[in-house]
Amino acid sequence: MDWSGILVILSILFTVCIAEEKEHVLTLDHTNFTDTVSKHNFIVVEFYAPWCGHCKKLEPEYEKAASSLSSHDPPIVLAKIDASDEANKELAMEYKIQGFPTIKILRDGGKKIQAYNGPREAHGIVAYLKKQAGPASPEIKSREDAARLIDEKKITVVGVFPELSGETFEKFITLAEKLRADYDFAHTADAKLLPRGGPVDKPTLRLLKPFDELFVDFEVFEVNAAEKFIAEASIPIVTIFDKDPENQVYVSKFFNGPNAKAMLFLNFSTELDAFHSKYKDVAKLYKEDGLSFLLGDVEAGAGAFNYFGLKSEQAPLIVIMEKDGEKYLNAHVEPDVLASWLKDYKDGKLKPYVKSEPIPEVNNEPVKVVVRDTLRDLVLNSGKNVLLEFYAPWCGHCKSLAPILDEVAVSYEKDSDVLIAKLDATANDIPKGEFDVKGFPTLYFKSASGNLTQYDGDRTKEAIIEFIEKNRDKPAAQSESVKADSTTPESVTTDSAKDEL
């Protein structure tokens, strides 16, 4: 018997089996995407990039979920498409893909698009998608149904109806379909089956929640009005920001909300009892005035401290951030001062807090250091032609640009009318309305007469110098014939710079 031949065959069969086990996720591209999606009433698509670390981490979990959901009745199909591939870029733009991985739930052959807001591990993906594939609002017919469908730690929106039909009921189902990615919905003909709230004799929207008053009723079923009610009622009077994962959904809603934000940070282990009730009382007073309130643990809020340029030693501290980015701050605040400080804020008596690094005692490098407190004097009102870089210390592109800016600055060392400068945009506030900094590095040129222009040319010494020479204001006493030894860098005029490019 030829055992070697048998082993080869078994090896091939084993390889085929393994390959088949890994084919539960459909691979799509621009040639088959539309056709495949159009054939499914419910399909889940991951837009990914092969080089993305988060995508690589998701891949085995997504595959496990696809394998499990393939046996669902009916099967739930999971697919993926390389959105970084140039051939698929048009699809990525159509679906407004701005980061990787992005997962979309496509319904009715792709006519309805829903963001996937669920977990990123296999078990959670399966549970979330089974729920999303089912009815937007299941019926509660018994207390057992209520216990199964209502998670005491989550928000559930329940429609209570004398009859499960009619215009009002249909509006509720439309609402549930629209918001099913963000909230759990259910409906019932008997309010007594619900864990909270009494009986009702008319159609009622009952929002059950794990905080504040635990439930609240609403009787308007117009979709826009009901959506607004749910959005407002699902945010706690005071959002708790700690390491409890159950609170993260409310923290996200807080930071994504449209209101101005009041944030009190303290040490939960030693200071929470002294502050909590008084802060909540203040929040109740002002929550209708366009303010949302958050109470954060110093340890959990380390990222917020970095963002505001603060230190944990300043806690307890309260920060208000308005919609336009204006900030107000009170460090080492006492519990009894919260109410009066918030009143002063509402009355317009507080001065905005401006984050700035200390003014450097020595500033003799070729590229001058600008901080928020010197921005107006050194740049905006300097009467000089200034090229200003907004950078981040961790930014790789900024690090690559640094030696080039040094060379440009050295070239202009003998020109007192030109200044090359930089500002750490992570450690200094940027004036609103004057600069538009959305990424790093961002370069602006301010001419001596005050004209402000963003530089988006090549990041080479020659290109930057050419730009400066083209946009600078020459001193009145200077002749139009540029003198290379004293007024232009290293004999580089506009024409010669063009020749070098």
Is 17 an annotated catalytic residue? no
SS3 (DSSP) at 242: coil
What are the DSSP calls for 349-389, one per residue? -SPPB---PPPPS---SSSEE--GGGHIIIIITSSSEEEEE
Peptide bond connecting 101 to the previous residue in cis, omega within 30 degrees of 0: yes
Residues paired with residue 293 on neighbouring β-strands, in sequence order: 238, 262
Q: In 10 A of CB 231, how many CB atoms?
A: 15
What are the DSSP calls for 396-449, one per residue? HHHHHHHHHHHHHHHHTTT-TTEEEEEEETTTS---TTT----SSSEEEEE-TT
Q: CA 181, CA 52: separation in Å to the nearest integer?
A: 25
Distance of CA 40 to the CA centre of its chain: 31
SS3 (DSSP) at 394: coil
SS3 (DSSP) at 391: strand
Distance of CA 157 to the CA centre of its chain: 26
Q: Which residue among 45, 55, 176, 423 is the active-site one?
A: 55
- The residue assigned the tokens 């002063």 is 344
3-state helix, strand, coil in the chain (%, to 5): 40, 20, 40
DSSP single-letter state for residue 460: S
Backbone angles phi, psi at 285, to 5 degrees: -70, -40
- The residue assigned the tokens 């917020």 is 304
| Distance between start and end Cα atoms, the chain | 74
DSSP single-letter state for residue 69: H
Consecutive H or E run containing 227: helix 223-233
Check if the beta carbon of residue 422 is closer than 8 Å to that of residue 405.
yes
Check if the beta carbon of residue 372 is closer than 8 Å to that of residue 435.
no
Distance of CA 196 to the CA centre of its chain: 34
Q: Which residue among 283, 320, 342, 398 is the active-site one?
A: 398
Check if the beta carbon of residue 382 is closer than 8 Å to that of residue 444.
no
Closest CA to 226 of 176, 295, 180: 176
Q: In 10 A of CB 235, how many CB atoms?
A: 20
Q: Which residue among 34, 52, 183, 212 is the active-site one?
A: 52
Q: Which residue among 181, 395, 402, 410 is the active-site one?
A: 395
Distance of CA 197 to the CA centre of its chain: 36
Q: CA 488, CA 483: separation in Å to the nearest integer?
A: 7
- The residue assigned the tokens 């085995």 is 60
Question: Annotated active-site positions, please?
Answer: 52, 55, 395, 398
